[in-house]
Each structure stands twice: as structure tokens, then as C-alpha cells.
Amino acid sequence: MLDESYESRIIDGKVLAQQVEEEVRSGVEDLESNRGITPGLATILVGDDPASKMYVRLKHRACERVGIRAEDFLLPADSTQEELLALIDSLNNNKDVHGILLQLPLPEHFSPQEAMEAISPAKDADGFHPYNMGKLMIGDEGLVPCTPHGVIRALEEYNVPVKGKNAVIVGHSNVVGKPMAAMLLNRNASVSVCHIFTDDLKKYTLGADILVVAAGVKHLIKADMVKEGAVIFDVGITKEEDGVYGDVDFENVIKKASLITPVPGGVGPLTVAMLMKHVLMCAEKSL
Ligand SMILES: Nc1nc(=O)c2c([nH]1)NC[C@@H]1CN(c3ccc(C(=O)N[C@@H](CCC(=O)O)C(=O)O)cc3)C=[N+]21
């Protein structure tokens, strides 16, 4: 079991998420009393993948907690790209819908890129639209992807210095790795992005003051791969019969880390809380 002297090193994502949700709830109340607007999120789920259904449910429950109106749109797995685009178009034109979340992944025969581009950039609560991604790249952070935004929020809450620090990201996905790199660069970290083709991962991770791991490989990061005092964010989730595992060998790595997120209860809840913040932002900017 975990030595209790390490407990203060754990970044509790649930506590941070509660704090963010509290801010959102009060923002929602202000918007309602000042402008008579109740923020609304439309979620689109295509097919009935159990994990995706679970994630959408988590988001709906968060909406309930903060007072955002959530509407659930379900399309059968065998519906067409055209039907999906028609739904997105109707939601783009719906004044009561301020944020649109298209749950990923989509079934094989869809083009997720085309669908995400069809979402109005102003309603892009996920921050996945190329327009919002482009703004992020030039340092104008508005609607940014929720998971990296949550990591930045945690760094701020814990007063972790970023400027001039070595930040290493493992994973170069469009949803986590690439936007995370941009957000850390915007804060003047020296950023390295590693991925599946990196030939000596340890060479990079050993130099990391801030390490963000989003590879989706259970316990990829071992204690001998991290620097003493590193701040570590574990974005991976691997579900097995006996439990949920992160990309970091938490029990051993915590002995070297100064701060570390657990799985579950780390980056996941924070991601959902940032989504709530983004829906509020969309509603505040709506006409
Ligand atoms: N358009 C889109 N936006 C997303 O934000 C998005 C998506 N598609 N597709 C799937 C991923 C996954 N994702 C998670 C959200 C919360 C937890 C979360 O809160 N997990 C809990 C429970 C973990 C468990 O028991 O499974 C935790 O980590 O403590 C996890 C994963 C959002 N995603």
C-alpha cells in the first residue's frame, strides 16, 4: 500500500474539479440573473459503445451539478455522415444550444475531422475545431481542448513554475499531446513531444520537470524513467477486469515525483469540469 508520507504529493483531480465546477455554477447563476440565459450543451453520441456512453453520462451529470441544460442526441451506429452533418447544422442554428460535444471515437465509416469542422467554432466546447486549434497555436487561447486545459489549471493551482522548465509530453494526439505542447510553449516551457516512434523515450522523460503522459499504454512510465521532483500528469486510462490503470506506474513513481495525478481521480474529472467551463464561455459570448 501507499506510504502515507507520499499522500501530499497526490494532485486530487476530484477536489480541483469541484473547485472549477463551483466557479462555473456561480457563472451560470450570473448569466441567468443578468441576461436570462441558461447555458445549454448538446452531446452527440453515435452508436452505443459502452465506454462512450459512460463518458457522456459523466458529462451530463456534471451539467446537472453546475446548472447547465444538457440535451442528449443519439444516432444509431449505421447512420450516415450526412445525417450527422444535418444534426450538427441544426444544433449550430439552435439558439438554446451554446456548446456542442461530438463524442469520439465515431464508428469507422464516419469522417470525424469533417464532422468536427462542421461544428460552429463558437460552439466548439471541446476545442477541437481547426479554427480554435489554430488560435491556440498562435497563442490566442480561447476554446482549447479540455484535458490539456485541466493540466494547465492544475499547474496554476499548485503554483508549479512553467517558464524555462523542461516539459515532456508522451503522446502526440490531436486531443491531448499536440494542444498540450502548444499550451506549455505559450507559457515558455521548453517542450519535447515524444510518441510511439521515439527511439529512446527514457532519455527524454529523465529530463522532464513536467511530464504529461497520454500514450494509452498501461504503466509505460516506470520510476527509473523520471527525475527526482518531477510533476507528473497521467492522462492514460486502461480498463482491465481488475481495475483502471494509468500510463504511469503510480505506486513506484510517486516516490520520486513532487506532484502526481492518480488514475482514476486525476485528470479525468478535471477534463469534465473544464468542459463545463467551456460551455459557460460559449454561452457568455453568445448574442
Ligand atoms: N468529443 C470528446 N470529448 C471528450 O472529452 C472525450 C471524448 N470525445 N471521447 C472520450 C474521451 C475520454 N474522456 C474522459 C472524460 C472523463 C473521464 C473521467 O472522469 N474518468 C474518471 C473515471 C475513470 C473510470 O472509472 O473509467 C476518472 O478518471 O476518475 C475519463 C475520460 C473524455 N473524452
Bin 76: left if φ > 0, else alpha if -120 < ψ < 50, else beta. Answer: beta
Looking at the structure, tell me whether residues 175 and 82 fall in a common domain.
no
Looking at the structure, tell me whether residues 188 and 109 fall in a common domain.
no
* Residues known to be catalytic: 59, 103, 126
Domain annotation covers residue 19: no
Query: Is the predicted pLDDT of residue 3 greater than 90, yes or no?
Result: no
Q: Is 100 annotated as a binding residue?
A: no
Strand-pairing partners, residue 167, are: 191, 210
Query: Is the predicted pLDDT of residue 203 greater than 80, yes or no?
Result: yes
Domain annotation covers residue 25: no
What average pLDDT score do residues 88-111 get? Answer: 98
| Residues 145 and 130 sit within 8 Å (Cβ to Cβ) | no
Domain annotation covers residue 207: yes
Looking at the structure, tell me whether residues 151 and 217 fall in a common domain.
yes
Domain annotation covers residue 229: yes
Select from 120, 137, 166 the last residue of a domain: 120
126 lines ligand 1 (CB under 6 A): yes
Q: What's the CA gap between 188 and 168, in Å, rounded?
A: 13
Which of 4-8, 237-241, 271-275, 279-283 is predicted least confidently? 4-8
Looking at the structure, tell me whether residues 99 and 161 fall in a common domain.
no
Which run of H or of E encompasses 29?
helix 13-35
**pLDDT digit string, tens, across residues 43-74:** 999 999 999 999 999 999 999 999 999 999 99
- What local confidence, expressed as pLDDT, does residue 130 receive? 98
- What local confidence, expressed as pLDDT, does residue 4 receive? 72
pLDDT band at 1 (very low <50, low <70, confident <90, very high): low
Which run of H or of E encompasses 259?
strand 259-260
Long-range contacts of 137-145 (CB under 8 A, 24+ apart): 137/182, 139/186, 141/183, 141/186, 142/281, 143/278, 143/281, 143/282, 144/179, 144/183, 145/175, 145/176, 145/179
Looking at the structure, tell me whether residues 45 and 114 fall in a common domain.
yes
What average pLDDT score do residues 173-190 get? Answer: 98
265 lines ligand 1 (CB under 6 A): yes
- Closest CA relative to residue 91, chosen from 115, 60, 58: 115
Three-state secondary structure call for residue 177: helix
Q: What's the CA gap between 20 and 14, in Å, rounded?
A: 10
What average pLDDT score do residues 174-180 get? Answer: 98
Q: Is 171 annotated as a binding residue?
A: yes
CA of 199 to the centre of ligand 1 (A): 29
User: Residue 209 belongs to a domain with what CATH number?
Assistant: 3.40.50.720
Looking at the structure, tell me whether residues 97 and 169 fall in a common domain.
no
286 lines ligand 1 (CB under 6 A): no
Domain annotation covers residue 115: yes
Domain annotation covers residue 26: no
Domain annotation covers residue 6: no
Tell me how many domains the chain contains.
2
Looking at the structure, tell me whether residues 201 and 261 fall in a common domain.
yes
Looking at the structure, tell me whether residues 61 and 151 fall in a common domain.
no
CA of 102 to the centre of ligand 1 (A): 13
- CA-CA-CA-CA torsion for 235, 191, 161, 280, nearest 10 degrees? -50
Looking at the structure, tell me whether residues 181 and 262 fall in a common domain.
yes
Looking at the structure, tell me whether residues 95 and 152 fall in a common domain.
no
User: Residue 107 belongs to a domain with what CATH number?
Assistant: 3.40.50.10860
Q: What's the CA gap between 170 and 109, in Å, rounded?
A: 29
- What local confidence, expressed as pLDDT, does residue 5 receive? 85
For residue 208, give the C-alpha cell: 522532464
Q: What is the mean pLDDT of the chain?
A: 97
Looking at the structure, tell me whether residues 242 and 202 fall in a common domain.
yes
- Closest CA relative to residue 136, chosen from 181, 99, 168: 181
CA of 268 to the centre of ligand 1 (A): 5
Q: Is 79 annotated as a binding residue?
A: no
Looking at the structure, tell me whether residues 219 and 154 fall in a common domain.
yes
pLDDT band at 121 (very low <50, low <70, confident <90, very high): very high
- What local confidence, expressed as pLDDT, does residue 2 receive? 67
101 lines ligand 1 (CB under 6 A): yes
Domain annotation covers residue 283: no
Q: What is the domain range of residue 93? A: 36-120
